[in-house]
Amino acid sequence: MAESILGKLGFGRASGVDKAGWGRTLGVAIVAFIYFLPVLFIIFTAFKPQGDALLVPPTLSPTSLFGLIPDHFVFKPTLENFGSVFSRSMTPDGAPEATGFDRYFFNSIFIASASVLLALVIGTLAAFGFSRYPLKGNDTYLFIILTTRMLPAIVVIIPVILMFRVVGLSGSYLGIIMLYTAFNLAFTIWMMKSFFDELSPDVEDAARIDGSSGMRVFFKICLPQVIAGLAATFVFGLILTWNEFLFALLLSGPDTRTVPVAMNQAVSSGGRGTDWTLLAAIETLFLVPVFLVTFFLQNHLLRGVTFGTVKR
């Protein structure tokens, strides 16, 4: 029984290399825990009663773990913060009002997935072109594509705002999706090009000799070989876009606001100081979609990242 649970967690998994002993595993577990600690703290805070957030010393656990943890470190978990995310009273004595966060979550999901998918489609096609049909000065173009990513967003924001104002895209879904797509494209093209470069050209030659047109070679032969790469690129792009704040702050309108922007406004408005448990609840909810996507794609993700080293 215990073994099957450990097995499911990956402890008993057979692999080509020698398994590390318990000592090393423990070492890695400690480092992983340290990595996870800030996230864990946020998640716990989201379940704390409002007054608990700023207690010194802080409460650390929702359970006493059968008496292991002293009582003054234990908080009583509550779901009220999650309710406040979507509906709460905005004035000291006012009735609860809708906060619009359902809308902002929809915006975040819609904008991030639309732009990442769009970038994935366009970028994969472009990457295949750059890899298989190099232009004169191919590397120069690839370099230029990446320049948008070489500067901090704050530097390019002014020309971008001007461009958006001229064409009237400020505050629209189309505008922000186009912007994110353009930003993700740079990353997608570079990632996918390296995956296509790794493929054996013989296989494509064979497919052509077997009667396939260029399109069919791409869809039937090349694409299935880079699924891991597509998954990895999708997840990385999604994480970058999901968390983007500055462009969203300056280029989205009231209807197209994304969660990071709304989060900022929710905690800094009202003049009552920051409501930390509310912020933690928003953050926890915000973590869920990207956490799920990454979790379900993680097998592909690992294969994608280690592509060049294990493939041949």
Partner 1 sequence: MSTIELRKVTKRFGSFTAVKDVDLSVAAGEVVCLLGPSGCGKTTTLRVIAGLESVTDGEVVIAGKVMNNLPPEKRDIAMVFQFYALYPSASVGENIAFPLYHDGISRAERTARVNRVAAILHLEHVLDRLPNQISEGEKQRAAMARAIVRDPNCFLFDEPLSRLDVELRQSMRGQIKEVLQGLSKATVIVTHDQLEALTMADRIAIMKDGLIEQVGSPHEVFAKPANAFVASFIGTPQMNLLEADLKTFADGTAEMAVAGINLAIRTDAAVGRLQPGRVTIGVRPRAFTATDTGDRGTISARAELIEPMGAETLIHARTAAGADIRVVVTRSQRVKVGEALNLRPDPRQTHVFDGAGKAVRS
User: Where on the chain is the footprint of partner 1 (CB under 8 A)?
Assistant: 200, 202-203, 205-213, 220-221, 224-225, 227
Beta carbon nearer to partner 1, 177 or 226: 226
* Least distance to partner 1, CB of residue 11, Å: 26
Strand partners, 61: 74
Q: Of the candidates 280, 254, 251, 286, which has an alpha carbon nearest to the alpha carbon of residue 267?
A: 280
* Least distance to partner 1, CB of residue 58, Å: 51
Beta carbon nearer to partner 1, 50 or 212: 212
How many CB atoms are located within 10 Å of the residue 293 CB? 19
Beta carbon nearer to partner 1, 64 or 200: 200
For 249-283, b/e burial (b = at least 16 CB within 10 A) is: ebbbeeebbbbbbbbeebeeeeeeeebbbbbbbbb
Instruction: Say how many CA atoms lie within 13 Å of 179 toward its Cβ.
Output: 28
List C-alpha distances in Å: 171 to 67, 108, 255, 257, 261.
53, 14, 8, 8, 13
Counting every residue written for the chain, the total comes to 312
- Contacts of the segment 146-155: beta carbons below 8 A, 24+ positions apart: 146/186, 146/190, 148/182, 148/183, 148/186, 149/183, 149/186, 149/187, 153/244, 153/246, 153/247, 154/246
* Least distance to partner 1, CB of residue 140, Å: 21
* Least distance to partner 1, CB of residue 126, Å: 22
Beta carbon nearer to partner 1, 82 or 307: 307
* Least distance to partner 1, CB of residue 213, Å: 6
Beta carbon nearer to partner 1, 87 or 212: 212
* Crossing angle between the packed helical segments 259-268 and 276-305, to the nearest 10 degrees: 160
* Least distance to partner 1, CB of residue 218, Å: 13
Beta carbon nearer to partner 1, 18 or 202: 202
* Least distance to partner 1, CB of residue 196, Å: 14
Beta carbon nearer to partner 1, 68 or 209: 209
